[in-house]
């Protein structure tokens, strides 16, 4: 991967250069930039033509237009090949939108997410599928699954795990109840921003957000806005809407909700833990083929009261050299004191060792099910920090 720190910056104009020569050189450089932009546009249209041909081939096989592994590997390869000085951090978002725009030529992809607009699920969907997909807000995690099952969206995106708060159990329950398979995953850095309609910290008398962001920003709020009323709302979107109506309210939420509600960022990234990341699952669509870097999610129940049942269930994976990425237990609904074990296996079910380990474990299980084999995410998506106003000053500090 290229090292941005080693790149030589462009030379500055010589000291004392005349204004005329400066303007001439600037105009020449801008003409060169315009010529480059024209060539980029030509290549984008060439790419679009190729994508249209790909779409025609896919239609012959009724294949889906979204491939998580293809899009992951494309951006990974481009970042590795980037010689600079274009920053590595800009490669992924630029090509995400290029892929999203050209993908829309094949078909308009609809994505269901846990709403309302501006939530982190909405942001994760946008970061995964780009601006040219169509997004459908759902009232609950279960409704995300239902929308995809009814064919009203090609895919859904649902949170399954957070580094601060742990597993999202309603998602596990919905996966078990649905026939939809997991077809991808996305990792999103959760960054909370303070926003208001006026853009002035001195106007703020109340802070509103969902209880979770309020808790995750408690230390920052105690230091910078001590004593202010904190209002719990059903969502960060509801808090942003309140802040858009009332000038004395600041909301905590994502950069996306600030954009949607027309709010100004007062302070960015105010969360107390900077490694707060949520893992999202993409559901629906075609079963992805092996990509060389995959996960397989499975669910097992074991026979109640059988001694060593969990040990017997897990040992075949070790015997076949299959690593377990995670294991979670959930009560089995309708059957007190029995549990479902959700296990993530490293590898794809079409790999012989993974298939052998899965089938051997199934012999010790009361029931078993594959939830999906899918490409692993290789990056934590970290939306650009929004621009903010003047540095925040702690109330009560001397000027």
Write down the pLDDT at residue 395: 44
By C-alpha distance, which of 328, 382, 345, 344 is closest to 166?
A: 328
Write down the pLDDT at residue 394: 44
Kindly give, in sequence order, each residue whose CB lies less than 8 Å from that of residue 244, ignoring residues fewer than 6 positions away.
Answer: 197, 261, 262, 263
Write down the pLDDT at residue 232: 95
Structure tokens at 145: 């699954």
Pairing assessment for the beta strands 229-232 and 294-301 based on DSSP bridges: unpaired
Q: Are 113 and 137 in contact (CB under 8 A)?
A: yes
Say how far apart CA 358 and CA 364 lie, in whole Å.
Answer: 10
Low-confidence ranges of the chain (pLDDT < 70): 1-17, 62-63, 305, 383-399
Say how far apart CA 253 and CA 250 lie, in whole Å.
Answer: 10
Alpha-carbon distance values, 66 to 48, 72, 125, 179, 293 (Å): 15, 11, 13, 19, 17
∠ at Cα 307 (306, 309), nearest 5°?
Answer: 70
- Return the HEC string of the chain: CCCHHHCCCCCCCCCCCCHHHHHHHHHHHHHHHHHHHHHHHHHHHHHHHHHHHHHHHHHHHCCCCCCHHHHHHHHHHHHHHCCCCCCHHHHHHHHHHHHHHHHHHHCCCEEEEECCCCCHHHHHHHHHHCCCCEEEEECCHHHHHHHHHCCCCCEEEEEEEECCCEECHHHHHHHHHCCCCEEEEEEEECCCEEEECCCCHHHCCEEEECHHHHHHCHHHHHHHCCCCEEEECCCHHHHHHHHHHCCCEEEEECHHHHHHHCCEEEECCCCCCCCCEEEEEEECCCCCCCCCCEEEEEEEECCCCCCCHHHHHHHHHHHCCCCEEEEEEEECCCCCCCEEEEEEEECCCCCHHHHHHHHHHHCCCCEEEEEEEEECCCCEECCCCCCCCCCCCCCCCCC
Write down the pLDDT at residue 16: 52
Q: What φ, ψ does residue 315 adopt, rounded to 5°?
A: -60, -40
Write down the pLDDT at residue 307: 74
∠ at Cα 143 (236, 104), nearest 5°?
Answer: 85
Write down the pLDDT at residue 338: 81
Structure tokens at 175: 């996966």
Q: Give all domains of the chain, ordered by start, each with its CATH number.
A: 40-107 (1.20.59.10), 112-188+278-283 (3.40.190.10), 193-275 (3.40.190.10), 287-383 (3.30.70.260)
Say how far apart CA 234 and CA 227 lie, in whole Å.
Answer: 22
Handedness of CA 106, 279, 172, 255 (dihedral sign): negative
Q: What φ, ψ does residue 139 adopt, rounded to 5°?
A: -80, -20
């Amino acid at each position: 991967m290229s090292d941005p720190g080693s790149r030589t910056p462009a030379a500055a104009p010589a000291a004392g250069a005349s204004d005329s020569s400066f303007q001439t050189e600037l105009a020449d450089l801008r003409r060169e930039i315009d010529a480059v932009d024209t060539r980029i546009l030509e290549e984008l249209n060439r790419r679009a033509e190729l994508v249209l041909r790909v779409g025609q081939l896919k239609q012959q096989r009724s294949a889906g237009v979204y491939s998580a592994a293809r899009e992951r590997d494309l951006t990974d390869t481009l970042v590795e090949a980037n010689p600079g000085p274009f920053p590595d951090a800009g490669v992924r978002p630029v090509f995400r939108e290029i892929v999203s725009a050209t993908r829309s030529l094949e078909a308009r992809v609809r994505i269901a997410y846990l709403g309302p607009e501006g939530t982190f699920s909405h942001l994760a969907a946008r970061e995964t599928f780009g601006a040219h997909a169509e997004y459908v807000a759902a009232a609950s995690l279960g409704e995300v699954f239902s929308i995809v099952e009814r064919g009203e969206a090609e895919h859904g995106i649902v949170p399954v795990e957070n580094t601060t708060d742990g597993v999202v159990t309603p998602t596990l329950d919905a996966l078990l109840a649905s026939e939809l398979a997991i077809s991808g995953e996305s990792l999103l850095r959760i960054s909370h921003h303070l926003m208001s309609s006026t853009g002035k910290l001195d106007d703020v008398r109340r802070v509103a957000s969902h209880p979770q962001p309020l808790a995750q920003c408690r230390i920052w709020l105690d230091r910078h806005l001590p004593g202010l009323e904190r209002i719990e709302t059903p969502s960060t979107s509801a808090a942003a809407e309140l802040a858009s109506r009332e000038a004395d309210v600041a909301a905590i939420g994502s950069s996306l909700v600030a954009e949607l509600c027309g709010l100004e960022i007062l302070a960015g990234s105010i969360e107390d833990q900077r490694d707060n990341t949520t893992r999202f699952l993409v559901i629906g669509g075609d079963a992805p083929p092996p990509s060389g870097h995959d996960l397989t999610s499975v669910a097992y129940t074991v026979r109640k009261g059988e001694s060593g049942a969990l040990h017997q269930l897990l040992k075949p994976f070790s015997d076949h050299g299959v690593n377990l990425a995670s294991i979670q237990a959930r009560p089995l609904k309708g059957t007190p004191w029995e549990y479902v074990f959700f296990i993530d296996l490293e590898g794809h079910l079409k790999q012989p060792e993974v298939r052998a380990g899965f089938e051997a474990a199934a012999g010790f299980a009361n029931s078993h099910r594959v939830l999906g084999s899918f490409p692993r995410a290789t990056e934590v998506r970290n939306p650009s920090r929004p621009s903010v106003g003047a540095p925040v000053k702690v109330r009560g500090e001397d000027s």
